[in-house]
C-alpha cells in the first residue's frame, strides 16, 4: 500500500529504521504500532506518568508528547535496548533482586529514567534518585524498592568500574 507520508529515519536500540507516518503522530505510537516495540507503555497520554519514557539523543523524554517528526535522525533507546536476557543491564539485575518491579507497567519508563540518571550521576544520593524518578509514577511499590534497586545498580556499576 502506498502512503502519502514522508519517510522518517531513526535509530532505535542501535538499529536504523525508516517509517512512513504522519509527522504529528506520537512517537509513542510510532514505537508501539510501527516499530512493534511494545515494552514502552502508555499510562496517561499527557506527559504526567512517565510510563512512555524513552531516551532520545541522550535526553529522557515522554514519548507521548514527542511528534514523530522530531525523531527524524534521532538516536532512541527503549527498554528493549537496555539489556538482553543473557546480558542484563545492572539495573535489570537489581530490580529483579530488590523487588523494584511489581505490576511492571511503570517499569520500562522507570528503567529508562534510572539509566539516564546513572549515566550522568554514577553515584546518586537518595535525593538525587528521588528527583530523577519524580516524573515516573508507580502505584504499586511506594518507591522504596525502586530507590533500593537503583542504588544497588549504581553500587554494582561502581564495583565493576574499579
Partner 1 sequence: MSSQSPSRVVGSSVPRKEGLDKLLGRAQYVDDVENKDFLYGATVRSSIPRGIIRSITFEAHINWSEFTIVTADDVPGENRIQLIMADQPCLAEGVVNHCEEPIVLLAHPDRHKLRDAVAAVRVEYEPLPAIFTIEESERCEPVIWGDNNIFKQFLLEKGDVDSVWPSAAHIVEREYHTGAQEHLYIETNGMIAEYSNDTGITVWGSLQCPYYVFKSLLRVFDLPDSKVRVVQTETGGAFGGKEDYPSNLACHAGLLAMKSGRRVKMVYDRMEDLAATTKRHPARIRHRTAIDARGKLLAIQIDLDIDGGAYATLSPTVLSRATLHSTGPYVCPNVRVRSRAWATNQVPYGAFRGFGAPQVIFAMERQIDEIAATIRMDPVEFRRRNFLHQGDTNATEQLMREPLILDELLDRALERSDYYGKHNRFARENATSPVKRGIGIASFYHGSGFTGSGEVYLNSQAGIDVTVEGKVRVLVSNTEFGQGTNTILTQVAAEALGLAYGDVEMAAPDTGMVPNSGPTVASRTSMVVGNLVERASRQLIDTLRSEVALGQNYTRAEFFEACEQYRGMHGNVQSLCHYQAPPGIHWNDETYHGEAYGAYAWGVYVAQVAVDTTTYSAEVEEFWAVQEVGRVLHPVLAAGQIEGGIAQGIGYTLYEKVVMQNGRMANNQMTNYIIPTAEDVPWIHVYFEEIPFQHGAFGAKGIGELPHDGPAPAILNAIRNATGVPMNSIPLLPEDLYARLAAREAEEEPAIR
57 scored as a contact of partner 1 (CB under 8 A): no
Cα distance between residue 8 and residue 19, in whole Å: 5
37 scored as a contact of partner 1 (CB under 8 A): yes
Cα distance between residue 147 and residue 157, in whole Å: 16
48 scored as a contact of partner 1 (CB under 8 A): yes
96 scored as a contact of partner 1 (CB under 8 A): yes
Number of helical H runs and strand E runs in the chain: 5, 5
134 scored as a contact of partner 1 (CB under 8 A): yes
| DSSP summary character for residue 6 | P
CA angle 8, 61, 71 (to 5 degrees): 10
Indicate which single residue of 42, 65, 75, 121 sits in contact with partner 1 (rule: CB under 8 A): 42
CB of 162 to partner 1, least distance (A): 25
Cα distance between residue 145 and residue 101, in whole Å: 8
Instruction: Candidates 2-10, 68-76, 96-104, 154-162: pick the segment binding partner 1 (CB under 8 A).
Output: 96-104
Binding site for partner 1 (CB under 8 A): 32-33, 36-46, 48-49, 51, 78-80, 82-85, 88, 92, 95-99, 101-108, 111, 129-131, 133-147
Amino acid at each position: 500500500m502506498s502512503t502519502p507520508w514522508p519517510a522518517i529515519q531513526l535509530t532505535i536500540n542501535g538499529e536504523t529504521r525508516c517509517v512512513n507516518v504522519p509527522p504529528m503522530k506520537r512517537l509513542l505510537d510510532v514505537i508501539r504500532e510501527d516499530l512493534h516495540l511494545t515494552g514502552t507503555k502508555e499510562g496517561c497520554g499527557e506527559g504526567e506518568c512517565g510510563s512512555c519514557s524513552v531516551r532520545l539523543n541522550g535526553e529522557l523524554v515522554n514519548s507521548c508528547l514527542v511528534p514523530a517528526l522530531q525523531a527524524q535522525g534521532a538516536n532512541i533507546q527503549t527498554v528493549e535496548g537496555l539489556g538482553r536476557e543473557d546480558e542484563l543491564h545492572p539495573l535489570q539485575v537489581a530490580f529483579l533482586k530488590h523487588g523494584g518491579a511489581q505490576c511492571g507497567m511503570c517499569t520500562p519508563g522507570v528503567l529508562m529514567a534510572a539509566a539516564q540518571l546513572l549515566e550522568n550521576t554514577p553515584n546518586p544520593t537518595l535525593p538525587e534518585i528521588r528527583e530523577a524518578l519524580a516524573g515516573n509514577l508507580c502505584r504499586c511499590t511506594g518507591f522504596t524498592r525502586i530507590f533500593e534497586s537503583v542504588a544497588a545498580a549504581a553500587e554494582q556499576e561502581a564495583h565493576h568500574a574499579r
